[in-house]
């Protein structure tokens, strides 16, 4: 947050960008940062990234969304271990001591504690099999975010590589990419994911179940789900990247680089890829929202996470009939969490797009 | 025009070819023997071989694929693995009307709600009407449909308990019949289904209308003293609607995948639930048929919006 230190006149610059001239890369390198702080009156230009940062911080909705996402990520990762150490042990009917590490475990079923409301022992109550709702929600969050992260890694890797190659060289890579995206647009990703998980699901339950951590507790199918979403999302990313690459390629500095004898590899890695970062960040943030919805949807249809695992979609599906009962929160809670996390990523993505490209705002 | 259509048709056939191949090869390579699955406990080798032959599973894959294509062209998807007395076509035709009805109403409603709302917001741009409506539209558009459906079901249940109206929580009446109980059952799913699309269309309509209102010919129309109503409805609206036509095809894709979840939450016996059950019971002929049917719907939707676009805006020529 280096911007905040030296922004006495940043705030009175008023209406965002329009008042500050966009600095050219040449100009920006001549500005001495230390100098700026001493002479606040002097007209100075910000680097493009500083301008973006400033624009981002002025977008309240995006900043709040980012805060929400950070909070949810923290809850998903450090929440469960902390929660499993909070609470007093109690003695059950068999005369055994049961500590919080047991009854705050998301996989624990205890029919003595069905459908309990919010209490000191179960912070958000329990569901119909006596599992702690908060523990399950945190586990579901972790699942959502892990799937999104895994999909995004593949999405960015494939999308950027193939998009850049298609945009830079054109030719057959471009043709193949165009055909693949044609098919993708006609064949919804979700349908593909439903097919793939449905057909390979039972086999993955059998063979991937033994994998440590990711395969246990009915989570094995998530590997298939992630693969399906990764396969369907990279062509879209590649298409964006290709378009952007074509634009960048037309710039004079690329020509200049070629004139001084830079190799294609160097031009791509030094001049094109760094300029793609903004579009990749925006596209992947928006794609994360889609992936989270997709994973929840697949699990909702009973094709993703299996019992006793937790997923927001699975929790909704399991208790969809709790709506007409006296304890509707069992289904409303996962819905609300899902809505919040999806909205946060969508708003963040929108905010980032406006940040990097203010003209895209209608 | 004809050249363009031909080009699109070739592309369309290519897409359909790919989709049939994907669905075929997934069924072909899928682990587990469907005949074993059907026979279950009553396994015997002779019957097994007979059934394999009956379903054409003893042929090499390219021959199976060729047969598969030929059968599709005859609208023959064979027999269901799961319910062996039924043909796939009969299963689909009993469930298709429900989904079709849901989809048609949702498609209609999302344009009927979305366009006027977007136009209103554009005319009242940056007033509280605009901000409130567009804020709601953004929320509705971003939140997944099944979450919205759960919230709506919750609201209905609450109202029902309070008033004792006896509103059915889930299910679907008789297709294409509109007695009071039918309407009660259909109203909520159709509305929820339409809302997501309506929000998207409203946002688009607003942007498009604002763009048109900035044009010179609108200023000219106002300058020559036309009443505001005529300026907006006769001069601006028609031009603002052009970009919305393209969303028609997009909407179809949106509706097809959305149907899975709406049908799931509201327990509607439609094509979506057929697909999901057949996927989880690995009833390959049914899976293949529904997937191909849904894809054809989407592809035709895309083609239709291209054609509409050309008819409405003659400046757009096929490259």
Q: CB of B296 within 8 Å of any CB in chain A?
A: no
Tell me, what's the pLDDT at A12? 38
Instruction: Please tell me the pTM assigned to this model.
Output: 0.79
Q: Tell which residue, B195, B188, B210, has the closest CA to residue B137.
A: B195
Better-scored residue on pLDDT, A69 or B185:
A69
For helices B271-280 and A189-207, angle between their N-to-C axes, nearest 10 degrees: 20
Please indicate whether, in this complex, the C-beta atoms of B260 and A331 are within 8 angstroms of each other.
no
More confident residue, B276 or B1: B276
Question: How many angstroms separate the CA of residue B40 from the nearest CA in chain A?
Answer: 16
pLDDT (0 to 100) of residue A331: 81
pLDDT per residue of chain A (362 residues) written in tens, 0 to 9: 344 443 433 333 333 333 334 444 444 444 444 444 444 555 567 777 777 777 778 778 888 888 889 999 998 888 877 887 776 777 776 667 776 677 777 777 776 777 777 776 677 777 777 777 888 888 888 888 888 998 999 989 988 888 888 888 877 888 887 777 777 766 677 778 887 887 777 777 666 666 665 656 667 788 888 888 888 888 888 888 888 888 888 888 888 888 888 888 888 888 888 888 888 888 888 888 888 988 888 888 888 787 777 888 888 888 777 777 777 777 888 888 898 998 898 888 888 887 777 555 44
Sign (positive/negative) of CA torsion A210, A211, A215, A220?
Answer: negative
pLDDT at residue number A26: 42
Q: φ, ψ for residue A298 (rounded to 5)?
A: -60, -40
Q: What is the mean pLDDT of residues B6-20?
A: 79
Please judge whether B144 and A293 are an interchain contact, meaning their C-beta atoms are less than 8 angstroms apart. yes
pLDDT the model gives residue A362: 45
How many helices (DSSP H) and strands (DSSP E) are in chain A? 16, 2
Return the pLDDT at B317: 56
Chain centroid, CA A210 distance in Å: 27
Contact assignment for A320 to B291 by CB distance below 8 Å: no
Element (H, E) at B41: none
- DSSP assignment, residue B169? S
Average pLDDT in the B119-128 region?
83
Write out chain A residues lying below 8 Å of B30, CB-based: 199-200, 203
Residue A153: what pLDDT? 92
Q: A301 and B260 in contact by Cβ < 8 A?
A: yes
> Scanning every residue of chain B, which has its alpha carbon at the shortest distance from the alpha carbon of A297?
B261
Q: Inform me whether the C-beta atom of residue B280 falls under 8 Å from chain A C-beta atoms.
A: yes
Give the integer Cα–Cα distance in Å for B294 and B306.
19
- Does B295 touch chain A if contact means CB atoms closer than 8 Å? yes
pLDDT for the residue numbered A15: 37
Residue of A178, A185, A187 to mutate, interface with B, max B Cβ within 10 Å? A187
The answer to whether the Cβ–Cβ distance between B22 and A192 falls below 8 Å is yes
Q: Which ranges constitute the DSSP H helices of chain B?
A: 2-29, 34-39, 45-54, 61-73, 88-123, 128-142, 145-163, 180-213, 216-223, 228-230, 237-245, 247-265, 271-280, 284-312
Inter-chain residue contact B264 with A293, CB threshold 8 Å: no
Position A208 scores a pLDDT of 66
**Contact (CB<8Å) B147/A179:** no
Half-sphere exposure in the Cβ direction for A210 (13 Å, CA): 3
Question: What integer pLDDT is reported at residue A216 of this predicted model?
Answer: 65
Query: B79 — phi, psi (to 5°)?
Result: -100, 150
For chain A, the residue count is 362
A361 touches chain B (CB under 8 A): no
> What six digits make up the tokens of B71?
């059968």
């Amino acid at each position: 947050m280096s911007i905040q230190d030296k922004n006495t006149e940043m705030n009175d610059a008023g209406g965002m960008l329009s008042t500050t001239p966009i600095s050219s890369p040449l100009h920006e390198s001549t500005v001495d940062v230390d100098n700026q702080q001493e002479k606040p009156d002097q007209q100075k230009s910000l680097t493009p990234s500083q301008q973006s940062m400033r624009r981002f911080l002025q977008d309240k909705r995006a900043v709040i969304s980012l805060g929400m996402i950070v909070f949810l990520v923290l809850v998903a990762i450090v929440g469960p271990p902390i929660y499993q150490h909070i609470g007093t042990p109690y003695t059950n009917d068999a005369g055994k001591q049961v500590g919080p590490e047991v009854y705050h475990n998301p996989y624990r079923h205890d029919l003595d504690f069905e459908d309990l409301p919010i209490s000191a022992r179960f912070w958000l109550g329990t569901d119909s099999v006596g599992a702690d709702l908060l523990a399950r929600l945190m586990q579901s969050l972790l699942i959502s975010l892990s799937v999104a992260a895994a999909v995004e890694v593949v999405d960015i890797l494939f999308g950027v590589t193939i998009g850049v190659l298609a945009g830079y060289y054109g030719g057959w890579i471009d043709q193949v990419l165009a055909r693949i995206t044609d098919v993708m647009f006609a064949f919804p990703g979700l349908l593909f994911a439903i097919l793939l998980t449905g057909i390979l699901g039972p086999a993955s339950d059998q063979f991937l179940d033994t994998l440590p951590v990711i395969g246990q507790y009915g989570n094995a199918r998530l590997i298939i789900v992630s693969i399906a979403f990764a396969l369907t999302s990279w062509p879209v990313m590649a298409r964006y990247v290709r378009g952007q690459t074509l634009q960048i390629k037309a710039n004079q500095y690329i020509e200049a680089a070629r004139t001084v004898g830079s190799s294609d590899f160097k031009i791509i890695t030094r001049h094109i890829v760094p300029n793609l970062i903004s579009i990749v960040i925006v596209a992947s943030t928006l794609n994360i929202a889609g992936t989270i919805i997709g994973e929840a949807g697949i699990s909702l249809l009973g094709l993703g996470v299996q019992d006793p695992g937790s997923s927001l979609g699975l929790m909704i599906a399991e208790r969809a009939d709790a709506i007409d009962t006296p304890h509707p929160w069992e289904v409303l809670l996962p819905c609300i969490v899902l809505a919040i996390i999806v909205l946060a990523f969508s708003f963040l993505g929108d905010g980032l797009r406006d940040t990097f490209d203010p003209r895209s705002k209608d | 025009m004809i050249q363009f259509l031909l080009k699109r048709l070739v592309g369309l056939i290519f897409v359909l070819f790919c989709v049939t191949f994907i669905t075929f090869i997934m069924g072909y390579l899928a682990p587990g023997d469907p005949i074993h699955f059907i026979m279950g406990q009553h396994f015997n080798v002779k019957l097994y071989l007979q059934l394999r032959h009956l379903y054409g599973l003893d042929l090499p894959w390219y021959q199976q694929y060729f047969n598969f294509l030929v059968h599709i062209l005859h609208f023959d998807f064979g027999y269901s693995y799961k319910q062996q007395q039924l043909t796939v076509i009969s299963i689909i035709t009993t469930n298709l009307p429900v989904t079709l009805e849901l989809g048609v109403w949702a498609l209609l409603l999302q344009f009927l709600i979305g366009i006027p709302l977007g136009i209103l917001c554009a005319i009242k741009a940056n007033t509280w009407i605009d901000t409130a409506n567009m804020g709601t539209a953004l929320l509705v558009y971003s939140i997944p449909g099944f979450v919205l459906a759960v919230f709506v079901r919750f609201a209905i249940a609450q109202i029902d308990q309070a008033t004792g109206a006896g509103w059915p929580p889930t299910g679907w009446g008789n297709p294409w019949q509109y007695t009071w109980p039918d309407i009660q059952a259909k109203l909520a799913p159709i509305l929820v289904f339409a809302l997501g699309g309506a929000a998207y269309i409203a946002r688009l309509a607003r942007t498009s209308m604002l763009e048109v209102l900035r044009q010179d010919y609108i200023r000219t129309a106002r300058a020559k003293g036309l009443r505001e109503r005529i300026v907006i409805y006769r001069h601006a609206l028609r031009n603002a609607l052009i970009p919305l036509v393209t969303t028609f095809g997009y909407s179809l894709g949106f509706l097809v995948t959305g149907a899975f979840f709406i049908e799931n939450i509201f327990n509607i016996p439609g094509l979506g639930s057929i697909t999901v059950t057949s996927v989880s019971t690995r009833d390959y002929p049914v899976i293949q048929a529904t997937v191909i049917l849904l894809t054809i719907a989407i592809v035709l939707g895309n083609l239709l919006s291209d054609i509409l676009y050309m008819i409405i805006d003659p400046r757009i020529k096929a490259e």
